[in-house]
Amino acid sequence: MSSAQDDLVLIERTKQGDRAAFDDLIYKYERRAYQYAYRLTSNSEEASDVVSDAFVRVYNALQNFKGQSAFTTWLFRIITNCYLDARKKERSRPTVSLDNAMQSSEGDFERQVEDEGPGPSEELEKSERERLVQAALFKIPEYQRAMLVMYHVENLSYDEIAEALDLPIGTVKSRLNRARLSLREQLTKDKELFTLG
Amino acid sequence: MKLEKAYDYFSAYYEGTLDAALRDQMDRLFAANQRLRHDFDSFAASLDDLELSKAREIEIPADLHEQIVARLDRSIYESSRNQPQGVMAFWRKYALGGLAAVVIIGGGFAVANRGTADQASAGFTAIPSATPAGLQVVGEEGGTFLRFSPTANDSVKVMRLPDAKLMQSYDVSANTKLDVPLKNAAAEPVTLLISTAEGKEMVVVIPGTQKQAAGSGQGSLLDFAKAMSATYLLPVTLDSSKRDSMLRWDLNDSSLTQPATIPEGVTVELKDKLIRIRF
């Protein structure tokens, strides 16, 4: 039996009141769900919250799941929504962000990126590039970040992203192109700041 | 093609999915415009860097499954509370005639400010400092106690299983402590689900007054915990999210932690007058 068929069996059993079947579904996908959520939030606690909320939403909406799309793409959609909702809630709270500007007695200044110096090896350089790209990823709009992570890190196809976000495939392609351009622009800005600093 | 339009084709150019005519136009634009070429190169480099994230290991929290299940249980419980008819249906489904154990919770309930004078002389029991905010069930000479000391305002609910009847609830202010005895005056053991609003949760079985002869049995993990409690007349905590898993067991009188047949994957520990089952 394929993994997708296996999911449908577990879903049917859950719909009939078999809670252990839903536990099995959680066991099967919790790692992947957490990895995706962590890549969106970069925070362990927030990622656990997003994943927990997502599984509660999945459980509550399972009666409406007709199996027209794969369970995994549906799960990605719900995790993305939980993440966007959490960020929205977070934005409505008055907070001081350390990521943008910090106050000093001499006025505002940009937060300095810690300079570890030029890496003596390729490994260091690779890790520095990855760190910069992660930092840039957190400065572009959340929706764009989700699309980039889905495609480039979680290996979802255009079709799967279209299903997960309930968008036509042409829209997915054009929005993903815009997300990539935003990332490039942000990385360029960060690198310039880094070089000048 | 206008220069601005060229940016719309960056992804397709990068992926090699542009048709030949458009690709030629792009190549001509790149040759004529160094800035565009530079922008595309940095675009491609940023995507290559993004791919590096794939290899990065992300550590999964050890208790992730428990966190998810606790949140789900709480959501199910809260929606059942909001639907009174559903609760009654649930109760009718699971109520077992003749097995209605009575739990007495209260009596020793105390909430004290942290850092106040001698707590022992005031009738309070000290909470181990290693887990100040933890939800604990402790077995002591004087009986079994539920303790909780949150760092933020929280509440604790004690529900009987399997009928989900709410036996007691407590609001606990930040930096105060809850310390209540858990007593069961009925003959049979009773199973309790203790949960906090913040999502901490534990299952504990409180023995009744009647000792059950050691022997074999089968049933869910909850049934196994109940059998252990009734056989050894000790409280049992259950550390598992698979409470409905079906098991077989064979208990003997000589060794509590080494039953004649222990269900596969189950560990049993006796510590401080309390049995802890993990699965």
pLDDT, tens digit, for every residue of B20-34? 999 999 999 999 999
C-alpha–C-alpha distance, residues B234 and B249, integer Å: 18
Cut 0.90: pTM above it? no
Q: Are residues A23 and B241, on separate chains, in Cβ contact within 8 Å?
A: yes
A136 touches chain B (CB under 8 A): yes
Helix extents (H) in A42-167: 44-61, 71-92, 122-137, 142-148, 158-165
Residue of A nearest to B66 (CA): A52
Residue numbers in B near A22 (CB within 8 A): 72
Residue numbers in B near A133 (CB within 8 A): 46, 49-50, 52-53
Sequence-separated (6 or more) residues with CB below 8 Å from residue B183: B103, B104, B105, B107, B143, B144, B206
Q: Is residue B198 a contact partner of residue B218, using CB atoms and an 8 Å limit?
A: no
Q: Is residue A146 a contact partner of residue A84, using CB atoms and an 8 Å limit?
A: yes
Picking from A22, A52, A126, the nearest residue to B71 by CB comes out as A52
Q: Are residues B10 and A53, on separate chains, in Cβ contact within 8 Å?
A: no
Residue of B nearest to A56 (CA): B72
C-alpha–C-alpha distance, residues A84 and B117, integer Å: 48
Count of CB atoms situated within 10 Å of the CB of A53: 22
Q: Are residues A52 and B72, on separate chains, in Cβ contact within 8 Å?
A: yes
Sequence-separated (6 or more) residues with CB below 8 Å from residue A41: A47, A50, A83, A86
Q: What is the pLDDT along chain B (279 residues), one digit of tens a residue?
A: 788 889 999 999 999 999 999 999 999 999 999 999 999 999 999 998 888 877 778 899 999 998 999 899 888 877 766 654 443 433 333 333 333 333 434 333 333 333 333 332 222 233 333 333 578 888 877 778 888 888 777 888 888 887 777 777 788 877 778 888 888 878 888 888 888 877 778 889 998 888 888 888 888 888 888 888 888 888 998 887 777 777 777 777 666 655 556 666 777 777 777 888 887
C-alpha–C-alpha distance, residues A18 and A11, integer Å: 9
Angle at CA of residue A165, ends A161 and A168, nearest 5°: 75
Picking from B43, B46, B245, the nearest residue to A133 by CB comes out as B46
Picking from B50, B54, B56, the nearest residue to A148 by CB comes out as B50
